[in-house]
Amino acid sequence: MKSFLRRGHVIIESVEPQVDCGRYRAKAIAGDDVDVGADIYRDGPSVLAAAVRFRGPGDKKWSEYRMTHVDNDRWVGSFTPDRIGDWEFAVEAWTDRFATWRRDLVKRVEVGQDVDAELLEGAQILEDHLKALPAAERKKVRETIVSMRLPAQESTSGFEDPRIKAALDKGTAELMSKHHSRSGSTVTKPALQLTVDRELARFGAWYEFFPRSTGRTGEHGTFDTAAEELARIAGMGFDIVYLPPIHPIGTTFRKGPNNTLDPGEDDVGVPWAIGGPDGGHTAIHPDLGTFDDFKRFTKETERHGLEVALDFAIQCSPDHPWVTEHPEWFEHRTDGSIRYAENPPKKYQDIYPINFDTEDREGLWTELKGILDFWIDAGVKIYRVDNPHTKALPFWEWAIGAIKAEHPDVIFLSEAFTRPKVMKGLAKLGFTQSYTYFTWRNTKDGLTEYMRELAGTDMAKYFRPNFFANTPDILHEYLQTGGRPAFKVRLVLAALLSPAYGIYSGYELGENTPVAPGSEEYLGSEKYQLVQRDYTAEGNLNRFITRINRMRKAYPVLHHLTNLTFHQVDKPNLMAFSKSLAGETSILVVVNLNPYHWEEGMLTLDLHALGLDSWATFKVHDLISDETYEWQGAQAYIRLDPFSEPAHVFRVLR
Amino acid sequence: MKSFLRRGHVIIESVEPQVDCGRYRAKAIAGDDVDVGADIYRDGPSVLAAAVRFRGPGDKKWSEYRMTHVDNDRWVGSFTPDRIGDWEFAVEAWTDRFATWRRDLVKRVEVGQDVDAELLEGAQILEDHLKALPAAERKKVRETIVSMRLPAQESTSGFEDPRIKAALDKGTAELMSKHHSRSGSTVTKPALQLTVDRELARFGAWYEFFPRSTGRTGEHGTFDTAAEELARIAGMGFDIVYLPPIHPIGTTFRKGPNNTLDPGEDDVGVPWAIGGPDGGHTAIHPDLGTFDDFKRFTKETERHGLEVALDFAIQCSPDHPWVTEHPEWFEHRTDGSIRYAENPPKKYQDIYPINFDTEDREGLWTELKGILDFWIDAGVKIYRVDNPHTKALPFWEWAIGAIKAEHPDVIFLSEAFTRPKVMKGLAKLGFTQSYTYFTWRNTKDGLTEYMRELAGTDMAKYFRPNFFANTPDILHEYLQTGGRPAFKVRLVLAALLSPAYGIYSGYELGENTPVAPGSEEYLGSEKYQLVQRDYTAEGNLNRFITRINRMRKAYPVLHHLTNLTFHQVDKPNLMAFSKSLAGETSILVVVNLNPYHWEEGMLTLDLHALGLDSWATFKVHDLISDETYEWQGAQAYIRLDPFSEPAHVFRVLR
């Protein structure tokens, strides 16, 4: 009973943003508004007030902003985290006695009731609050009190009564609203947690390439030759260069070109078969260079305005030092051998998975986090995590939490392609960004439905998609068969639907030959061999990619995910979407998904989403073709020929 | 780190039924299945197993049933609470090593892999589990182990290999599934709470009447004259008789007929102005009889298969004993007077609200609960709570929880007509049933939308609607103007849409005169005066009501809320809905909402919802007209004339 007796009248429910009842952190970006909503109500007709309370990393005191009532007992407010790290917020709501009294006074006066007694009560409420007011403001309120307590005058009545005028004084109302007693207020507990990241966690263009392929013809590349690519990559407008594992590669059961089992002496092996006599996850492949070479490479990336992302793959080749130093970290078969990786009936003898159920969990986890600490010390703040869905989930929650507590600027990209709830689970457990099903969403319906899930559901609170248009593992049939137009279409979609996107090198050359019909693997895959390219080869998409990346940077609406609207086009291969933000130029994209043939159709715009009135006359300027059209109203004729340009990217001019 | 190291791999999310993250109890009925759902996943491709654990009031041990995987990592299970009271449940999930191994073995054998090593590993898993098996079953598993460890035979291979046959033995698989180690399992915490009520909390027909109106002409009724009505009420098929307050009525500021302010000496006053020299909430109005008379009355209700519901109205007349005994429980104005009830600018001088913010909260709350204890001791288990939304919300959570902990058979009906979230909030805080907006939902769209919210959203987990077709406060315009057909329509809708419904006496006589145009108050309202009726008057709906109540009892599909489907009719005034349950006769209702004119239209049935195939030929038997029609397929022609019968209530014959 005691605990109930102490409770306030006000109930606060359904606070947003909230992930799984507060079990997980929602995500935000420093400098972005965090919109907070809550259902707030109490018994009776009292006027309520509410505030969102928040504090950032290291803050002892809470700050707060007032919330406002929208409709149907829903209140909203917002705050803007000014720095990265773990933030928390809560909602406080209380009864505003003075505002309630004031509202009722108006109702009484409106019907001509005698309010002498009410005025004395209102004056008493003010007097009760005098001490809570800033000293400088007390005089004003004291005067109000005195006026309210004047004897009634026959000559004035209703709203002309000077007592009532004083009681309804706006300044007094504002002061009281600001300083009103919160006795009996309700505060949501526990506070909700929020991971606040830097902008690159939301918005960035990734470029994946294998440093070992950057050597002169036939030679193994080094960090120095890789650094020579940076100007080209930065010039195309990318923000992040992601390198597959740079560690020593095992020789036992090494794979040959095209995943063959009998490699030659010169075959370079798979970078994900990590570890050999030269070391494991904290060592560098000797052919790439030294640790100093790597440091020089990262300096160069910085100089080009780029940032390095490394691969974090928790698995070992049979030659990894841990195999002898920590055999207890692997699973052993009944014959004593270490269990290699399998996805029955497939066998991967060149890879030993780590046994997260080892007796020495603490030792293992500490060592794994130590790898991250090592590379963070070396200045690497972005990690593309290989197959996190096959490693113990509690490990990720702990490791990412521990790393980000010390280094809130670190970004973890989850490379999981698995069942929807597991992908979501990894994001909830802490991954900053996530690979997606984007490569397999190639139809208008498929793309629209997927975007509605990513941008329009609870997922947007914690799951930040990164749309890779290709990866060394995924060359989709659409790209295999659709030629140059297909590569343009998928680039436009990846780069303009998702604030974070990426390509794997070779994309700009339209590389599209699969190892076998029906396979999504590349022929001569770079996973198993060096692939040296002439990036200036005819037909390259360098300029197209550059133009798209420039648009991304130039238009703030493209830096966000949830500001997306789909527009109707009456043809299944024509898809239209826009992004808008208050005060910013809207971008409207129309894509012909058919890479083989021109398509024409009628576009019906959601003008409201574009901030336009019905029947507005407005211009759209195509940032690809540089043409400008004048449109009126919601409908516009569209014709897109993949062999000139398969997409319009319009900026909408008012 | 330590807490993370201990965590299992398996994650359980989105457990249902759950109200506001487990903050409130979901509701169930003893004997009904409780369907439990959960998202369950882990890293890697291991086979999982899950169970729903549950225990009832007083149980120390948990019982459990296994859950099954449906799709997309969603698991379901159910349990059936066998008695009323507070239940709790949780979900446990774990990795089934043996099932994982067995699944992989099949994949390996299918492609002809050598599985000698795997067989030894599987045998080891079985051996590790031997101790966990019931002694009687160990022999069988030991034999399996021995067979699996036999040397390979050249003559057999694949699934013919006796070792593999033994390994894949179904009995062994079932035994292992049942007794598999749950080491590292995940259990949801804290357990979710469930209020399990008796069936009357879900399904019951209420009849409200004023005992004081049952006297001989001009005389004040008594419990004895009221008891004479019980045969009639029970005969119509009602389950509950609800009596407005039976306590002494104040005389100070007593209201006269039609809410006038100058009552005569004989005017009886408003029963909700509780308390006078004869006592307060635990006293009985002397004109109604003594406590013994009341006891005799409740015995009589029982004899008729009825149950009494009393009114619980936390407010006082100025003559209530508390006004002098506990002035601190009321709010005092600056002039020392007690604040009467107001809804500015309206004033209710005859009612003193209780001040829940009194310093003596504990004393007040204890006394209020004591009133309930008093009447519960007198055998009353059902309370219609007057305007609970104007009393402190924490009080309800405490009081209902405390009462139901001792008397889980008590039913609380919330008489709140206020904003949606407050109505929902009261249900979450513990009210068993709730008044609704039903009286104001008179169009097909309005009714459909409201039913979708009540029956098809999260609300169904905690909010049990009670559809009153009229109340002493609400005579809707539809009834005022629609005549007899309107009363039939609204009765059919109330009684067949909602498992709990009610009428206020006079409904059966079609009383429909408002006190003033545009008012929902009755002329000569029984709230202010005796209203003596001839229930056999011509045009009464007694037989119609009796027939509807009989249908309700006869067809189990009508005892539930969420088993509702709407069917299309191509006219705005024709509405069709059905209720179905596996193994039970479906009921299909078609109503003409236009009480003034016949309507015809084409009905398009959702045959699947009725358990029928497309193009099925089936008969429907109208329980109102007793006519039978043979229909084929989804479409049927409907014509309903309000002046014969405004509704069909079909049982669907296969």
- Ordered DSSP codes for A346-400: EEETT-EE--TT-TTHHHHHHHHHHHHHHHHHTT--EEEEE-GGGS-HHHHHHHH
DSSP helix/strand/coil, B49: strand
Sign of CA dihedral A371, A373, A375, A378: negative
The token pair at B298 is 């409740």
pTM, two decimal places:
0.95
Section A392-419 average pLDDT: 98
> Which residue pairs from A227-232 have beta carbons closer than 8 angstroms and sit at least 24 positions apart in sequence?
A227/A296, A227/A297, A227/A300, A227/A301, A230/A300, A230/A301, A230/A303, A230/A304, A230/A306, A231/A304, A232/A535, A232/A542
Per-residue three-class SS string for A433-469: EECCCHHHCCCHHHHHHHHHHHHHCHHHHCCCEEEEC
The bridge status of strand B204-208 relative to strand B240-243 is: parallel
Q: Tell which A residues from 577 to 596 touch B, by Cβ distance under 8 Å.
A: none
Question: Which amino acid is residue A262, in one-letter code?
Answer: D
What ipTM score was computed for the predicted complex, to two decimals?
Answer: 0.95
- CA distance to partner chain B, nearest, from residue A364 (Å): 10
Q: Check whether the bond before A17 is cis (ω within 30° of 0).
A: yes
Active site residue B415: yes
- Ordered DSSP codes for B462-509: T--BEEES-BTTB--HHHHHHHHHHHHHHHHHHHHH-SEEEEETTGGG
Is it the case that residue A535 has pLDDT exceeding 90?
yes
| Portions of chain B given CATH number 3.20.20.80 | 205-315+362-559
Among A8, A121, A357, the residue with its CB nearest the CB of B334 is A121
Task: State how far the Cα of A393 lies from the Cα of B9, in Å rounded to an integer.
Answer: 6
Note whether B98 and B108 are within 8 A (CB): no
CATH number of B98-179: 1.20.58.80
Is it the case that residue A332 has pLDDT exceeding 90?
yes
DSSP helix/strand/coil, A320: coil
The token pair at B159 is 């699934």
| Portions of chain A given CATH number 2.60.40.1180 | 564-653
Query: Residue A526 to residues B330, B475, B495: CA-CA distances in angstroms?
Result: 82, 79, 71
Task: State how far the Cα of A62 lies from the Cα of B374, in Å rounded to an integer.
Answer: 48
pLDDT of residue B615: 85
Which band of pLDDT confidence, cut at 50, 70 and 90, is reported for residue A153? confident
pLDDT of residue A121: 96
**Residue B288 CB-half CA count within 13 A:** 28
Note whether B86 and B25 are within 8 A (CB): yes
**Residue B592 CB-half CA count within 13 A:** 22
Is it the case that residue A72 has pLDDT exceeding 90?
yes
pLDDT of residue B254: 96
Task: State how far the Cα of B497 lies from the Cα of B578, in Å rounded to an integer.
Answer: 9
DSSP helix/strand/coil, B310: strand
Task: State how far the Cα of B489 lies from the Cα of B482, in Å rounded to an integer.
Answer: 10
Nearest by Cα to B40 from A352, A346, A578, A393: A393
Nearest by Cα to A316 from A382, A365, A245: A245
What is the per-residue pLDDT across A589-639, written as a single tens digit (0 to 9) for each?
999 999 999 999 999 999 999 999 988 899 999 999 999 999 999 999 999
| A123 to chain B: closest CA residue | B334
- B336 Cβ neighbours under 8 A, 6+ residues apart: none
Residue at token pair 């029906």: A518
B44–A334 C-beta distance less than 8 A: no
A363 interfacial to chain B (CB closer than 8 Å): no
Residue A388 has φ and ψ, to the nearest 5°, of: -65, -20
What is the per-residue pLDDT across A406-449, written as a single tens digit (0 to 9) for each?
999 999 999 999 999 999 999 999 999 999 999 999 999 999 99
Which band of pLDDT confidence, cut at 50, 70 and 90, is reported for residue A561? very high
To the nearest 10 degrees (0 to 180), the angle between helices A135-148 and A170-179 is 130
Nearest by Cα to B331 from A117, A130, A546: A117
Nearest by Cα to B307 from B244, B372, B236, B379: B379
- CA distance to partner chain B, nearest, from residue A267 (Å): 28
Note whether A607 and A614 are within 8 A (CB): yes
Question: Which amino acid is residue B578, in one-letter code?
Answer: S
Note whether A164 and A120 are within 8 A (CB): no
pLDDT of residue B155: 82
pLDDT of residue B457: 97
The token pair at A212 is 């070992």
Is it the case that residue A154 has pLDDT exceeding 90?
no
- A39 Cβ neighbours under 8 A, 6+ residues apart: A11, A12, A13, A14, A73, A74, A75, B421
- Ordered DSSP codes for B510-573: T---BSSTT--SBTT-TTTS-----TT-TT--HHHHHHHHHHHHH-GGGG-SSSEEEEEESSTT
CATH number of B564-653: 2.60.40.1180
Beta bridge partners of A577: A566, A589
- Ordered DSSP codes for B429-458: HT-SEE--SGGG--SHHHHHHHHHHHHHSG
What is the number of other CB atoms lying within 10 angstroms of the CB of residue A262? 8
To the nearest 10 degrees (0 to 180), the angle between helices A97-110 and A170-179 is 150
Task: State how far the Cα of A542 lies from the Cα of B70, in Å rounded to an integer.
Answer: 47
B113–A43 C-beta distance less than 8 A: no
Q: Tell which B residues from 104 to 143 touch A, by Cβ distance under 8 Å.
A: 104, 107-108, 110-111, 113, 117, 120-121, 124
The token pair at A105 is 């006074």
Is it the case that residue A476 has pLDDT exceeding 90?
yes
Active site residue A265: no
Burial call A218-236: b when 16+ CB within 10 Å, e when fewer: eebbbbbbbbebbebbbeb
What integer best gives the mean pLDDT of chain A? 97
pLDDT of residue A156: 82
Alpha helices in B236-310 (DSSP H): 291-303
Q: Tell which A residues from 25 to 64 touch B, by Cβ distance under 8 Å.
A: 39, 41-45
- CA distance to partner chain B, nearest, from residue A196 (Å): 22
What is the number of other CB atoms lying within 10 angstroms of the CB of residue A502? 28
| Portions of chain B given CATH number 1.20.58.80 | 98-179
What is the per-residue pLDDT across B266-293, written as a single tens digit (0 to 9) for each?
999 999 999 999 999 999 999 999 999 9
| Portions of chain A given CATH number 2.60.40.10 | 2-96+185-196
What is the number of other CB atoms lying within 10 angstroms of the CB of residue A56? 18
Q: Tell me which H or E stretch contains A227.
A: helix A223-227
Point out the least confidently predicted range of A152-166, A199-213, A296-310, B325-339. A152-166
Beta bridge partners of A341: A348
Task: State how far the Cα of A147 lies from the Cα of A167, in Å rounded to an integer.
Answer: 8
Domain A2-96+185-196: what homologous superfamily?
Immunoglobulins (2.60.40.10)
Task: State how far the Cα of B26 lies from the Cα of B81, in Å rounded to an integer.
Answer: 13
Q: Tell which A residues from 419 to 438 touch B, by Cβ distance under 8 Å.
A: 419-422, 425
- A168 Cβ neighbours under 8 A, 6+ residues apart: A102, A105, A106, A159
Q: Within chain B, which residues score under 50 in pLDDT?
A: none
Question: Which CATH number among 3.40.50.11740, 3.20.20.80, 3.50.50.60, 1.20.1300.10 corresponds to the domain B205-315+362-559?
Answer: 3.20.20.80
Residues of chain A in contact with residue B20, where contact means CB-CB under 8 angstroms, are 13-14
